[in-house]
């Protein structure tokens, strides 16, 4: 195997966390940085051709090629895991920018109490109320410690929204349940598409606290602290699963890459598939990868960073035999534990008498209420813990995936009667959705599959995951609430979600898979510290949501960026090594 010239830092994965870390560390021009990205190069100009539903939203042109690598799934350790043969519940990104190119951009902060969830629930309800096999754990970092880094990440993205809590003062129109912010959002809220307007009015009437979804699809043009100027969103609706042709949606290629491309100490290599991290005597020495020509090479580095997204980070550690694989029977081992997948439901389908023009929108143009998040609802008689946000997002509904949904009063799914109903309801159907907490459990984890392999013959990740009664009851409760909102919005027929049963790998849920390499306050309860640094191998960092001990209700990326900022800051100022 050929050995390349050593560098200071090698980063595996050129998505949100990898390129942000590269931008922060390369600010110091003495440090050489190489990012290895297995997918193709991407740039804004590519996206002018992408407004095609079949190639992008259905054939998933921007996602990881499933022929080459997938995951296997089983519900319990007794089951035999089978491969996910066609993408379903999540969509891993590939290419420069990773999942950050075709994300929706909904960018909440986590709540202060989310960082202390285990102690909070124990204090409030007593240990006995927690599910028997839970693996909940406090984060090793608090909201207050993270706040300045949230603000940095929000400026990076130019986030649009409305503060609900400015330095402790409630702000009407914002999310009054959020933790205190030091600053108002960088840009004002997005416009409200019609369905969002109906939701806003109905939620207000019902006494809830509707607020605009915090949006990385910016409401107006914005220049960030790096000097990057991006234009405002035009609500084209080809957003979630697509790259933005005008750069209005913050993506790694339009916020980070322009800065990085000016730095001579930074190199991005596309088409490079990393297979192993090499560790010798407690120190990471570099990584081996198959380069774009098919040759396997060794890239030595002083510091190694995994930024390949939660599942891939976990897999690379397991394949490299770094750390102890988690064993659910004994509870021993840190790598692979606390796998969670955000609960995400179409809580109610609402059928309206009037047209909605629902092809108009953006990935994060919408309105939400947090009145049922965390502990803001009274759980005494509910039979579950936790909660989440009820929202509607007008992401731009396209016909191939959305045509044909009809109320339950229509009995057929094809033929004349169905066609007539489907034509009538096509632009009169709205979705009220729910994002909920997913607690961690001792029986939910990742390890290497004994049977199925990737294109290089390396074992796939095996996910052992299922819903428990906590998520099922939460989902059922929230569907009732969502249906009430739909009624207040003027829907004449409503189909509530039928209820969560088993974890379903075929239905798109969200690409918010967490855990595997979690952070904690000691090597006994975690794989990494709050700076994403492996306890046993301090020059190896594992970035992103693989670090989450459990899943707070809302989307993870803003927190992943804030924690990356914080780790970069510590590396630059405190020399963690």
Partner 1 sequence: MRRRHFLSLSAESVGGLLIYSLQRTPLRAQSQSGTIRVPLKFFTEKQALLLAAAAARIFPSDDTGPGANEAGVVLYIDRQLASAYGRDRFRYTAEPFLDGPPELGHQGPLTPRQIYSEGLAQLEGIDTLSPEDADAKLRSIERTPFFSLLRQHTIEGMFCDPMHGGNIDKIGWQLIGFPGPRMSYFSEVDSYYGKPFRPRPESLSEILGRPVTPSEDEEPA
Contact footprint for ligand FAD (CB under 6 A): 12-18, 36-39, 91, 93-95, 98-100, 102-107, 240-241, 272-274, 307-309, 312, 364, 511, 544, 555-557, 560
Phi-psi region of 227 (alpha: psi -120 to 50; beta: other; left: phi over 0): left
- Using CA atoms, how far residue 524 sits from 285, 324, 386, in Å, is 25, 11, 26
Minimum separation from the CB atom of position 316 to ligand FAD (A): 6
* Interface with ligand SF4: number of residues (CB under 6 A): 15
Terminal C-alpha separation, the chain: 28
In the 3-class helix/strand/coil scheme, how is 167-198 assigned residue by residue?
CCEECCCCCCCCCCECCCCCECCCCCCHHHHH
| DSSP labels, 420-452 | HHHHHHGGGEEEEEEEE-B--BTT-EEEEEEEE
* Binding residue (CB under 6 A) for ligand SF4 from 235, 351, 384, 426: 235
Block residue for tokens 């804030």 = 562
What, of ligand SF4, ligand FAD, partner 1, none, does residue 400 touch, CB below 5 to 8 Å by kind? partner 1
- 235 is an interface residue for partner 1 by CB under 8 A: yes
Among 134, 438, 497, 512, the active-site one is 512
Stretch that binds partner 1, among 76-84, 120-128, 293-301, 312-320 (CB under 8 A): 76-84
Minimum separation from the CB atom of position 474 to ligand FAD (A): 20
- Are 276 and 10 in contact by the 8 Å Cβ rule? The answer is no
What, of ligand FAD, ligand SF4, partner 1, none, does residue 225 touch, CB below 5 to 8 Å by kind? none
CA 404 to chain centre: 29
* Binding residue (CB under 6 A) for ligand SF4 from 62, 146, 239, 322: 239
| DSSP labels, 24-77 | HHHTSTTS-EEEEESS----GGGGGG---IIIIIIS-TTB--TTT--EEEESST
- 319 is an interface residue for ligand SF4 by CB under 6 A: no
Give the integer Cα–Cα distance in Å for 32 and 30.
7
* Interface with partner 1: number of residues (CB under 8 A): 63
CA nearest to 95, candidates 38, 16, 22: 38
Q: How many CA atoms lie within 13 A of 284 on its CB side?
A: 33
- 395 is an interface residue for partner 1 by CB under 8 A: no
- 363 is an interface residue for ligand SF4 by CB under 6 A: yes
Core vs surface per residue 191-222: b (16+ CB within 10 A) or e? bbbbbbebbbbbbeebebbbbbbbbbbbbeeb
Give the integer Cα–Cα distance in Å for 184 and 162.
7
Nearer to ligand SF4, 251 or 551 (CB): 251
Minimum separation from the CB atom of position 77 to ligand FAD (A): 26
**Catalytic residue check, 512:** yes
- 248 is an interface residue for ligand SF4 by CB under 6 A: yes
Nearer to ligand SF4, 254 or 495 (CB): 254
Positions annotated as catalytic residues are: 512
List of residues contacting partner 1 (CB under 8 A): 48-49, 51-55, 58-61, 66-67, 69-70, 73, 75, 80, 82-86, 88, 191-194, 197, 234-238, 354-355, 357, 359-361, 365, 398-400, 403-404, 413-416, 419-420, 423, 426-427, 451-453, 502-506
List of residues contacting ligand SF4 (CB under 6 A): 217, 233-239, 242, 244, 246, 248-249, 362-363
């Amino acid at each position: 195997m050929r050995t390349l010239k050593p560098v200071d830092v090698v980063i595996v994965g050129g998505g949100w966390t990898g390129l942000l870390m590269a931008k922060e560390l390369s600010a110091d021009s003495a440090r050489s940085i190489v990012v290895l990205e297995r997918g193709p190069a991407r740039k804004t100009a590519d996206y002018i051709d992408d407004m095609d539903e079949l190639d992008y939203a259905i054939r998933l042109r921007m996602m990881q090629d499933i022929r080459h690598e997938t995951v296997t799934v089983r519900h319990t350790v007794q089951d035999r895991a089978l491969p996910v043969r066609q993408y379903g519940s999540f969509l891993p990104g590939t290419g420069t920018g990773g999942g950050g190119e075709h994300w929706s951009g909904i960018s909440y902060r986590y709540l202060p109490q989310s960082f202390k969830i285990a102690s909070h629930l124990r204090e409030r309800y007593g240990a006995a109320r927690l599910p028997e096999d839970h693996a909940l754990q406090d984060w090793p970092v608090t909201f207050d410690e993270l706040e300045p880094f949230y603000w940095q990440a929000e400026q990076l993205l130019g986030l649009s929204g409305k503060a609900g809590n400015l330095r402790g003062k409630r702000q009407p129109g914002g999310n009054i349940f959020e933790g205190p912010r030091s600053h108002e959002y960088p840009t004002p809220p997005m416009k409200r598409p019609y369905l969002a307007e109906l939701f806003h009015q109905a939620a207000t009437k019902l006494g809830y606290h509707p607020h605009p979804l915090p949006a990385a699809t910016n409401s107006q043009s914005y220049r960030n602290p790096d000097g990057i100027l991006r234009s405002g969103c035009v609500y084209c609706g080809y957003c979630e699963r697509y790259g933005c042709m005008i750069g209005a949606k913050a993506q790694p290629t339009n916020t980070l890459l322009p800065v990085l491309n000016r730095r001579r100490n930074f190199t991005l290599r596309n088409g490079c598939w990393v297979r192993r991290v090499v560790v010798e005597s407690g120190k990471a020495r570099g990584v081996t990868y198959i380069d774009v020509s098919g040759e396997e090479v060794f890239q030595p580095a002083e510091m190694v960073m995994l930024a390949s997204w939660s599942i891939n980070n976990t897999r690379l550690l397991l394949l490299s035999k770094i750390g102890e694989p988690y064993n659910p029977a004994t509870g021993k081992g840190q790598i692979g534990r606390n796998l969670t997948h955000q609960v995400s439901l179409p809580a109610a389908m609402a059928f309206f008498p009037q047209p909605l023009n629902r092809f108009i929108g953006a990935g994060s143009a919408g309105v939400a209420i947090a009145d049922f998040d965390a502990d803001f609802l009274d759980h005494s008689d509910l039979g579950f813990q936790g909660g989440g946000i009820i929202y509607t997002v007008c992401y731009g509904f396209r016909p191939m995936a959305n045509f044909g949904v009809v109320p339950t009063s229509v009995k057929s799914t094809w033929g004349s009667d169905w066609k007539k109903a489907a034509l009538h309801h096509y632009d009169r159907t709205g979705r009220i959705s729910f994002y909920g907490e997913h607690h961690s459990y001792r029986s939910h984890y990742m390890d290497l599959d004994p049977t199925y392999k990737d294109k290089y013959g390396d074992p796939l990740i095996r996910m052992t995951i299922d819903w428990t009664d906590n998520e099922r009851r939460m989902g059922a409760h929230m569907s009732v609430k969502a249906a009430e909102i739909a009624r207040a919005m003027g829907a004449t027929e409503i189909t509530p979600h039928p209820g969560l049963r088993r974890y379903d790998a075929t239905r798109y849920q969200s690409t918010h898979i967490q855990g595997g390499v979690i952070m904690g306050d000691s090597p006994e309860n975690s794989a990494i510290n709050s700076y994403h640094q492996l306890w046993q191998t301090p020059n190896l960092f594992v970035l992103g949501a693989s670090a989450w001990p459990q899943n707070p209700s809302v989307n993870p990326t803003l927190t992943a960026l804030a924690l990356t900022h914080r780790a970069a800051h510590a590396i630059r100022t405190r020399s963690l090594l």
